[in-house]
Chains A and B, each alone.
Chain A
Amino acid sequence: MSPTQWDLPVELCCRPMAFVTLTGLDVVYNAVHRAVWDAFCANRRADRVPISFKVLPGDHEYPKCRPKRTSYEWYIPKGILKTGWMNKHLNLVPALVVVFYELDWDEPQWKEKQSECATRVEIVRQSLQGRNTKVAVVLIQKKTPLPPGEDVIASERAAALCNACELSGKSLFVLPHTDHLVGYIIRLENAFYEHAQTYYYTEIRRVKSHKEFLNKTTHQLLFVRHQFKIAFFSELKQDTQNALKNYRTAYNLVHELRAHETNILEIKTMAGFINYKICRLCFQHNTPLDAIAQFRKHIDLCKKKIGSAELSFEHAAWMSKQFQAFGDLFDEAIKLGLTAIQTQNPGFYYQQAAYYAQERKQLAKSLCNHEASIMYPNPDPLETQTGVLDFYGQRSWRQGILSFDLSDPEKEKVGVLAIQLKERNVAHSEIIITLLSNAVAQFKKYKCPRMKSHLMVQMGEEYYYAKDYTKALKLLDYVMCDYRSEGWWTLLTSILTTALKCSYLMAQLKDYITYSLELLGRASTLKDDQKSRIEKNLINVLMNESPDPEPDCDIFAVKTAQKLWADRISLAGSNIFTIGVQDFVPFVQCKAKFHAPSFHVDVPVEFDIYLKADCPHPIRFSKLCVSFNNQEYNQFCVIEEASKANEVLENPTQGKMCLVPGKTRKLLFKFVAKTEDVGKKIEITSVDLALGNETGRCVVLNWQGGGGDAASSQEALQAARSFKRRPKLPDNEVHWDSIIIQASTMIISRVPNISVHLRHEPPALTNEMYCLVVTVQSHEKTQIRDVKLTAGLKPGQDANLTQKTHVTLHGTELCDESYPALLTDIPVGDLHPGEQLEKMLYVRCGTVGSRMFLVYVSYLINITAEEKEIVCKCHKDETVTIETVFPFDVAVKFVSTKFEHLERVYADIPFLLMTDLLSASPWALTVVSSELQLAPSMTTVDQLESQVDNVVLQTGESASECFCLRCPSLGNVEGGVATGHYIISWKRTSAMENIPVIRTVITLPHVIVENIPLHVNADLPSFGRVRESLPVKYHLQNKTDFVQDVEISVEPSDAFMFSGLKQIRLRILPGTEQEMLYNFYPLMAGYQQLPFLNINLLRFPDFTNQLLRRFIPTSIFVKPQGRLMDDTSIAAA
């Protein structure tokens, strides 16, 4: 038996195609024949008819046809299907034999050639005796034929040739050897195909005709056989629908056969074949569900047909093959465009095939465990005379025997033994692994990651059984993390156990240690006794000894492993293994926790390392070191416990580094941070815990960051969610879950022990040199050095403020734009304990609004921390918000000489400018002086002297000044005429002498100047007295360049008598002045209306009395007559 006994035969799996043989072609020496043959076999794409061609010599012997049976009465079939039958019809018995012959119609020696051709046909016919195979003749001609009917000779000779060869006209073809060879060939093969179909049709009819002779009792096998043949011929005929129908019938017939232990294999084999055909055709017809249903039915029917118990592995092998074959068919259909889904894909079939292969292995293991002394029987009962079986699925030692009784039990026994011994040599694992890897490939495609992992585990385990430990470990290691990350600890433990065995058997130190660590850990579901065993082994390994073998390992493999381990011991080399724990769950847990999120530089940084072991026995570690991002600290955080290798398990409760299972161990570390690290983060980058020592073997467990392994994040989450009350523990113990990893801390500067005070008088006044007094007092115990002051506008505010704020230390001079907004690092020397210093700071704010000012004092101090002298830089800052306000408001107005408000001034006519300074400052202001700077267009009437020198203004008080000005005529100026500037020099009353005076410049408003034609002013005393003459002189000035006619009249008044011109008309020359003199005589005392002067300009009708009244007084105060004077006057009277 070949190892591929269970493989389906090739002839079953191929697509049956009509078989046509070509004779008379010399493809080796004749180029034309070669070209013809090439045209037949090259480029056989799907669009060409399905024919398989074969070139054979003309005298080829075809398989002999058995003589026709006239009666089936005495015929007893010996099996269902002969092993050679399918091959015979695919490759040996043609549907059509084509005779190629070179013959042109105008051949001169026609007669001879014709008879030679006839002879050739005859020879072919001879060898096909009894078969229905068709014969055809193809004449290879050099000349292109004429259209049919035109060549008289041709049709004559063709008829003659047909006659000579006993062919019908349909079987004679002409192949002109011209340019269009391929076209001719395709036409030829289409004709051949028709002939072949006819042949297979007759074959089907022939097989069907046998049916009537059969009876159900003795010819059951023939029913199946015939049905199968009909279906197979239908397939050859490319009638797949009928083929499928007939195969289905055949399938049902197979299961109707009486099954017995002796023929069950034959039945199953045939059922498998037919099932394969059905499924294949269903997929071909694009009805995959039918295929699946058929396959399910097939499996359900055959699952229980195990047959001989001694050979039950054969059943498993057969089942496995069924699934595999179906998986292959399914996969092939997918490649041709079928879509599979997650829950229905070829992977499941490969997986099931693998399971049956595993079962086969198991069964073989239990059934084929013969002792080595049992020899393979001789002669070999599995040998047959021909080397092959006559019928599919029969036993070689009783071929063709249909009896259900075993005629020769001894022979049977030997046969079974031979099969069993053969089975022992089968590489089961290889088969299983191949199937599993097929399945893995499928599940990968159909989004089944977990199924994939599971199959990979099985592959790994199978490699383990096959003793390929390297591959096993590779696969197991690959999938471990999937189970770990999803928290399936039972499965992980199982995988780890196998992995540990592999690493033991290969004496892979590092892997062995890693898996041991995890199997001892909390993720492992092993029992304590197992854990103890593993722990003991681990300790042995660390003491440079060999571990005990893992249980259930192959004895021979263990022997090899023990040798390997012994070699490892003698082998010097790297015995330190660093194992990163972040990817698995080791038996020691570690958490690092800084005591605070930040430490001042002058106090030692403290943190705890918590360790907890989950292994069953106490364990002693040799070294613990902590690494930081600043490696200089690493040296301070090492604990090393010198112990001899054999002490790992002794004195368990003593020593810092000995962990008692389940108890949390806290290790305190302390170090002084470097002053350079102020403001930086100190981070624990890793924690290394060493087990064992350098003399033996040493394992360094490496935690990244502040501890934590593959499972701890989930645990931390769970612990955070938990509201379980934890039992009270003794003071020095903590609950593991309650420890939260804190792997980094900030180093911050030392707390300053100085006081910084600011003294000032807010608000600041615009542009003033605002004084800020900074007082620094040291409260330190020792002298502080290098005290520096940084003061000014706090950075980060509006950029415009920086432009408009200036800071200086010197208040005696006004600062300008060049001064900075922030003075940095002003050295102020050293300070003794308790000493105090004061610094004045002047700020000039150019705009109003609030500003934040910063005063920052830094200094150095020597400190002793943990017996170490360090220089600390301390600093303290103060910020203050200062509002800046205007010191005063200045109001300016223009009035006439009569103090009447003026909208505009009149050219050349004096007017008054009044300024009003209202203090807005909460502090008293001293107006040092004021100054009026006139624009060139303005002239003053009298001296411009300041009237407010050294005036002190309290809040809300105001200081006013009045200046008499005149504006010469300038013509019409758009927007008015500039008046000039008003400059106020001032300071705070409280400010010191040396503080400069601030000059505030106020731009005076522009004024509109208007020309008037006539100006009238009056000269009159400031008061009158009853019955005393009051002389009044009016001056009329002509302001124009024209001679003016002026009408003047005086309206009478009850209060006055007067003398002078009552009504007059006069002319005033340009630029000249006319005086009018009146003598008023008051009659009544009090504030009296003067007789009104009406002036009428004939040229300027707009010039009204209204305007006039602005210039001349309209009333006067008249005092009553004095009493003394009265007496004298009476007397005089």
Chain B
Amino acid sequence: MPLIPSLWESKANRSLEFSCLRPALGAGAGSCVTSGGSRDAARAGPPKLAVCIAVIAKENYPFYIRSTPTENELKFHYMVHTSLDVVDEKISAMAKALVDQRELYLDLLYPTEDYKVYGYVTNSKVKFVMVVDSSNTALRDNEIRSMFRKLHNSYTDVMCNPFYNPGDCIQSRAFDNMVTSMMIQVC
């Protein structure tokens, strides 16, 4: 019996390494290989804690938005939409900072009674918004950061897909799987 967890662990380690190496590979890498990689990483990935993940275009319309099906979807749409107020404000505050000192992770946007909303913005002003349950107190900032980084990598892969038309909504199975891996699973 102890053999199985260790095997699982070693595989997890390897894939985590792989996913850490990913940014170094650059955006030009083939989409097939990388999407496989991120899926691999997802299996071992961070704690599954998001209840809603959204990708918002530069013009602030949603590219992609997914929430746990158990809850009112509309509520999360509103939550993500209202969080853009804070994102906008943070971005405009950030614009004054130097380009290379810019931090993509926007930290906690705002807490509500039941949820925490986190934000992340790419250099091309595409925003990632993640809603997590407030009750999840075991949550660490680092984990959120790494989740966003993974999301960003996966998003980059989508963008690299020559069949993807920039500005369209994201319809990618690889990206979907990535997001699923981060969402709280409904049993």
Across the interface, A447 reaches (CB within 8 A) one of B60, B85, B110, namely B85
A447: chain B residues at CB < 8 Å are 85, 89
CA distance A714 to B74 in the complex (A): 24
CA distance A451 to B62 in the complex (A): 16
B109 within 8 A of A: yes
A794 within 8 A of B: no
B73: chain A residues at CB < 8 Å are 490
B43-65: which have CB < 8 Å to A? 59-62, 65
A718 within 8 A of B: yes
> B110 and A721: CB pair below 8 A?
no
> A352 and B165: CB pair below 8 A?
no
> CB-nearest residue of chain B relative to A493?
B74
CA distance A921 to B59 in the complex (A): 71
* Nearest CB of chain B from residue A37's CB, rounded to whole Å: 51
CA distance A717 to B85 in the complex (A): 25
B166 within 8 A of A: yes
Using A486-B60, A488-B61, A724-B165 as known contacts, say yes or no to A448 and B85 having CB atoms under 8 A apart.
yes
Across the interface, A490 reaches (CB within 8 A) one of B74, B112, B113, B167, namely B74
> B81 and A454: CB pair below 8 A?
yes
Contact bitstring A488-504, B, C-beta under 8 A = 1, else 0: 10110010000000000
> A491 and B77: CB pair below 8 A?
yes
> A491 and B113: CB pair below 8 A?
no
CA distance A723 to B165 in the complex (A): 7
A795 within 8 A of B: no
Contact bitstring A538-564, B, C-beta under 8 A = 1, else 0: 000000000000000000000000000
Across the interface, A352 reaches (CB within 8 A) one of B62, B77, B113, namely B113
B97 within 8 A of A: no
A1062 within 8 A of B: no
B8 within 8 A of A: no
* Nearest CB of chain B from residue A784's CB, rounded to whole Å: 56
B84 within 8 A of A: yes
B82 within 8 A of A: yes
CA distance A490 to B113 in the complex (A): 24
A63 within 8 A of B: no
A343 within 8 A of B: yes
A336-377: which have CB < 8 Å to B? 342-343, 348, 352, 355
CA distance A342 to B85 in the complex (A): 9
Across the interface, B86 reaches (CB within 8 A) one of A342, A454, A714, A724, namely A342
A450 within 8 A of B: yes
CA distance A342 to B109 in the complex (A): 10
* Nearest CB of chain B from residue A662's CB, rounded to whole Å: 19
B71 within 8 A of A: no
> CB-nearest residue of chain A relative to B164?
A724
A1052 within 8 A of B: no
B109: chain A residues at CB < 8 Å are 343
B59: chain A residues at CB < 8 Å are 486-487, 714
> B167 and A343: CB pair below 8 A?
no
Most buried by B among A299, A352, A448, A450: A450
Question: Chain A at the B interface: mostly helix, strand, loop or mixed?
Answer: helix
> CB-nearest residue of chain B relative to A448?
B85
Most buried by A among B65, B89, B113: B113
B65: chain A residues at CB < 8 Å are 490
> A491 and B81: CB pair below 8 A?
yes
> CB-nearest residue of chain B relative to A482?
B81
> A448 and B168: CB pair below 8 A?
no
A722 within 8 A of B: yes
B165: chain A residues at CB < 8 Å are 718, 721-724
Most buried by B among A343, A487, A494: A343
> A448 and B82: CB pair below 8 A?
yes
Across the interface, B84 reaches (CB within 8 A) one of A355, A450, A721, namely A450
* Nearest CB of chain B from residue A594's CB, rounded to whole Å: 28
CA distance A730 to B178 in the complex (A): 41
Query: How many B residues touch A, CB cutoff 8 Å?
Result: 23
A722: chain B residues at CB < 8 Å are 165, 168
> B89 and A450: CB pair below 8 A?
no
B168: chain A residues at CB < 8 Å are 718, 722
Across the interface, A718 reaches (CB within 8 A) one of B82, B84, B167, namely B167
CA distance A355 to B62 in the complex (A): 26
CA distance A65 to B82 in the complex (A): 58
> A450 and B85: CB pair below 8 A?
yes
Contact bitstring B106-136, A, C-beta under 8 A = 1, else 0: 0001101100000000000000000000000
> A450 and B74: CB pair below 8 A?
no
* Nearest CB of chain A from residue B172's CB, rounded to whole Å: 16
> A450 and B77: CB pair below 8 A?
no
CA distance A483 to B86 in the complex (A): 17
A833: chain B residues at CB < 8 Å are none
Across the interface, B85 reaches (CB within 8 A) one of A451, A457, A718, namely A451
> A342 and B89: CB pair below 8 A?
yes
> B166 and A488: CB pair below 8 A?
no
A426-482: which have CB < 8 Å to B? 447-451, 454, 457
A355: chain B residues at CB < 8 Å are 113
B84: chain A residues at CB < 8 Å are 450
> A451 and B82: CB pair below 8 A?
yes
> A491 and B78: CB pair below 8 A?
yes
> A487 and B77: CB pair below 8 A?
no
Across the interface, A721 reaches (CB within 8 A) one of B61, B85, B166, namely B166
* Nearest CB of chain A from residue B36's CB, rounded to whole Å: 25
Across the interface, B78 reaches (CB within 8 A) one of A342, A454, A718, A723, namely A454
B71-93: which have CB < 8 Å to A? 73-74, 77-78, 81-82, 84-86, 89
A450: chain B residues at CB < 8 Å are 81-82, 84-85
Contact bitstring A888-922, B, C-beta under 8 A = 1, else 0: 00000000000000000000000000000000000
CA distance A671 to B165 in the complex (A): 40
A451: chain B residues at CB < 8 Å are 82, 85
CA distance A724 to B84 in the complex (A): 31
> CB-nearest residue of chain B relative to A443?
B85
A714: chain B residues at CB < 8 Å are 59, 61
CA distance A722 to B165 in the complex (A): 6
CA distance A486 to B65 in the complex (A): 15
CA distance A721 to B119 in the complex (A): 28
Across the interface, A488 reaches (CB within 8 A) one of B62, B85, B112, B113, namely B62
A717: chain B residues at CB < 8 Å are 167
* Nearest CB of chain B from residue A862's CB, rounded to whole Å: 54
CA distance A348 to B117 in the complex (A): 14
Using A449-B85, A454-B81, A486-B61 as known contacts, say yes or no to A343 and B110 having CB atoms under 8 A apart.
yes
CA distance A488 to B83 in the complex (A): 14
B62: chain A residues at CB < 8 Å are 487-488
B82: chain A residues at CB < 8 Å are 448, 450-451, 454
CA distance A483 to B167 in the complex (A): 18
Using A352-B113, A721-B165, A721-B166 as known contacts, say yes or no to A488 and B81 having CB atoms under 8 A apart.
yes
A486: chain B residues at CB < 8 Å are 59-61, 81
CA distance A618 to B165 in the complex (A): 31
CA distance A454 to B85 in the complex (A): 11
Contact bitstring B141-165, A, C-beta under 8 A = 1, else 0: 0000000000000000000000001
B112: chain A residues at CB < 8 Å are 348, 352
> B167 and A488: CB pair below 8 A?
no
Tell me the B residues contacting A by CB distance below 8 Å: 59-62, 65, 73-74, 77-78, 81-82, 84-86, 89, 109-110, 112-113, 165-168
Give the 3 A-B residue pairs with the shortest CB-CB distance, closest first: A487-B61, A448-B85, A451-B82
26 contacts between A and B (CB under 8 A): A343-B86, A343-B109, A343-B110, A352-B113, A447-B85, A449-B85, A451-B82, A483-B81, A486-B60, A487-B59, A487-B61, A490-B73, A490-B74, A490-B77, A491-B74, A491-B78, A491-B81, A494-B74, A714-B59, A717-B167, A718-B167, A718-B168, A721-B167, A722-B165, A722-B168, A723-B165
Tell me the A residues contacting B by CB distance below 8 Å: 299, 342-343, 348, 352, 355, 447-451, 454, 457, 483, 486-488, 490-491, 494, 714, 717-718, 721-724
List 7 other contacts, CB 8 Å, given A486-B61, A487-B59, A490-B65. Answer: A355-B113, A450-B84, A486-B60, A487-B61, A488-B77, A490-B74, A490-B77
